[in-house]
């Protein structure tokens, strides 16, 4: 449910460690519609079953921007960021899956391995998740972040816009020590969400026709997933034509801009497919109108439409049941359907073996103190 293709390299400057409390830089949001403030915070040591991580690189994601705009309702003050790679600095009592010095990716979708979604073969939204509820605290109901004695909330179990973060053990995956953090950080959200939407959630079939609505980082990853699955036709849909060349570079066979047509884009896609509609469609924007457009673009009998983009808090959709009763499948996906701690190491391994590339998803690399400029690029569609 994200759209980041810009990332930061977090270089720990002067970090103070006193009584095992780390003082470091973090980008804090105090209220919506305000810029990040880079301040010195205190990061408490990890408690039992927790891991403290030194963040090496973090991506910008559209979901973070939704918090800035007020579209996602969270508790402030808060440290955003959920697409990163780092190194374990220390672990709490009982942690067995990682140790100090391990290279890791924190994950906003935990995997405890014990709850019903973790056990179910089709489930991946662990009950320890903070996705959608946005409580902003660790599973024990507390936070490890503070600023001048004031509690700072975390974001979806991760909070990576800081030099150090603390996550529950269920929210961290050990990866190949040789993996470049400035690239594999994207596996923590954007790439996995889009790629998995095609591979896992839709189960795109060879020779099929697909349409991807929204060609940001997650949309491009969905295009890559459709191509990897063997789709013969992949139509990219976006109102920003500047995104078309990169979409074609990663696998789109053609691209269309809804603003170029007088008729609705779903009708355009039906015309392009001899009236059939596409076999699979993906909404990677997070807007209710494009969700309906994506649904109505797929075949009325056997088409499958997958919602990938995160909608604003409180969004609702009204549609006639006839759109579904004919056989269309409409479904959503979180983190591309991957079981996070099992899948992230494998995806990193696949990247290291050059089974896919992440380079097209990265448009800018910036220092941490330029984070506000990074979000301006995101909002301007230049990332």
Asked about 349 being catalytic, the answer comes back as no
Rg (CA), the chain: 20
Asked if 337 and 121 touch (Cβ cutoff 8 Å), the reply is: no
Residue among 66, 153, 168, 270 flagged as catalytic: 66
pLDDT at 310: 84
Asked about 63 being catalytic, the answer comes back as yes
Q: Where are the alpha helices (DSSP H) in 286-339?
A: 288-297, 322-325
Asked if 160 and 57 touch (Cβ cutoff 8 Å), the reply is: no
Domains 22-188+339-380 and 194-333 share a fold: no
Asked about 153 being catalytic, the answer comes back as no
pLDDT at 6: 53
Asked about 61 being catalytic, the answer comes back as yes
pLDDT at 2: 37
Where exactly are the structural domains of the chain? 22-188+339-380, 194-333
pLDDT at 367: 92
Separation between Cα atoms, residue 276 and residue 266, nearest integer Å: 11
Q: Which residues pair with 167 in a beta bridge?
A: 51
Q: What is the DSSP letter of 145?
A: E
β 254-256/280-283 pair status: unpaired
Ramachandran class of 39: left when φ > 0, alpha when ψ lies in -120 to 50, beta otherwise: beta
The domain made up of 22-188+339-380 has a fold known as: Quinone Oxidoreductase; Chain A, domain 1 (3.90.180)
Give φ, ψ of 16 to 5 degrees. -95, 135
pLDDT at 17: 60
Residue among 61, 126, 185, 255 flagged as catalytic: 61
Q: Comparing C-alpha atoms, which of 232, 253, 234, 223 is closest to residue 357?
A: 223
β 280-283/364-367 pair status: unpaired
- Name the maximum alpha-carbon separation found in the chain: 69
pLDDT in tens, the chain (383 residues): 334 445 565 555 556 665 699 999 999 999 999 999 999 999 999 999 999 999 999 999 888 988 998 888 999 999 999 999 999 999 999 999 999 999 999 999 999 999 999 999 999 999 999 987 889 999 999 999 999 999 999 999 899 999 999 999 999 999 999 999 999 999 999 999 999 999 999 999 999 999 999 999 999 999 999 999 999 999 999 999 999 999 999 999 999 999 999 999 999 999 999 999 999 999 999 999 999 999 999 999 999 999 999 888 888 999 999 999 999 999 999 999 999 999 999 999 999 999 999 999 998 899 999 999 999 988 887 55
Separation between Cα atoms, residue 6 and residue 360, nearest integer Å: 11
User: What distances in angstroms separate CA 320 from CA 225, 264, 288, 323, 325, one per listed residue?
Assistant: 30, 17, 14, 6, 9
Q: How far, rounded to the nearest angstrom, does the alpha carbon of residue 237 sit from its chain's CA centroid?
A: 20
Residue among 185, 189, 255, 298 flagged as catalytic: 189
Residue among 1, 63, 170, 192 flagged as catalytic: 63
Token reading at 249: 């570079």
Asked about 82 being catalytic, the answer comes back as yes
7-35 core/surface letters (b: 16 or more CB in 10 A; e: else): bbebeeeeeeeeeeebebbbbbbeebeee
**Was domain 194-333 assigned CATH 3.30.360.10?**
no
pLDDT at 5: 45
Token reading at 40: 């010195």
Q: How far, rounded to the nearest angstrom, does the alpha carbon of residue 56 sit from its chain's CA centroid?
A: 18
β 172-174/164-168 pair status: unpaired
- State the residue for tokens 């150090």: 164
Token reading at 119: 């056990």
Residue among 7, 49, 82, 168 flagged as catalytic: 82
Helix 288-297 to helix 265-272 angle (10° resolution) is: 20
């Amino acid at each position: 449910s994200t759209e980041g293709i810009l990332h930061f390299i977090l270089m720990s400057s002067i970090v103070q460690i006193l009584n095992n409390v780390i003082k470091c830089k973090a980008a804090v949001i105090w209220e919506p519609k305000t810029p990040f403030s880079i301040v010195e915070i205190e990061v408490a040591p990890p408690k039992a079953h927790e891991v403290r991580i030194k963040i090496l690189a973090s991506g910008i994601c559209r979901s973070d921007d939704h918090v800035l705009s007020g579209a996602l309702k969270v508790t402030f003050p808060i440290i955003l960021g959920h697409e990163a790679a780092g190194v374990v600095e220390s672990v709490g009592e009982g942690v067995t899956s990682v140790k100090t010095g391990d290279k890791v990716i924190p994950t906003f979708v935990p995997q405890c391995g014990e709850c019903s979604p973790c056990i179910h073969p089709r489930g991946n939204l662990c009950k320890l998740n903070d996705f959608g509820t946005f409580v902003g605290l660790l599973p024990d109901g507390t936070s490890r972040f503070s600023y001048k004695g004031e509690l700072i909330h975390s974001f979806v179990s991760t909070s990576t816009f800081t030099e150090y973060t603390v996550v529950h053990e269920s929210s961290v995956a050990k990866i190949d020590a040789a993996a470049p953090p400035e690239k594999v950080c994207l596996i923590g959200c954007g790439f996995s969400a889009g790629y998995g939407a095609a591979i896992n959630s839709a189960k795109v079939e060879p020779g099929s026709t697909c349409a991807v609505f929204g060609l940001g980082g997650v949309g491009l990853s969905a295009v890559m997933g459709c191509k990897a699955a063997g789709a013969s036709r992949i139509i990219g849909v976006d109102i920003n034509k500047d995104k078309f060349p990169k979409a074609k570079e990663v696998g789109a066979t053609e691209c269309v801009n809804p603003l170029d047509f007088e008729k609705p884009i779903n009708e355009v896609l039906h015309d392009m497919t001899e009236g059939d509609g596409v076999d699979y469609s993906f909404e990677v924007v997070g807007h209710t109108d494009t969700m309906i457009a994506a649904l109505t673009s797929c075949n009325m009998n056997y088409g499958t439409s997958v919602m990938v983009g995160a909608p604003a808090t409180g969004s609702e959709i009204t549609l006639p049941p006839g759109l579904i009763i004919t056989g269309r499948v409409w479904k959503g996906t979180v983190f591309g359907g991957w079981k996070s701690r099992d899948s992230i190491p494998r995806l990193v391994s696949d990247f290291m073996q050059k089974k896919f590339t992440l380079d097209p998803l990265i448009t800018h690399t910036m220092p941490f103190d330029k984070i506000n400029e990074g979000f301006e690029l995101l909002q301007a569609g230049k990332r």
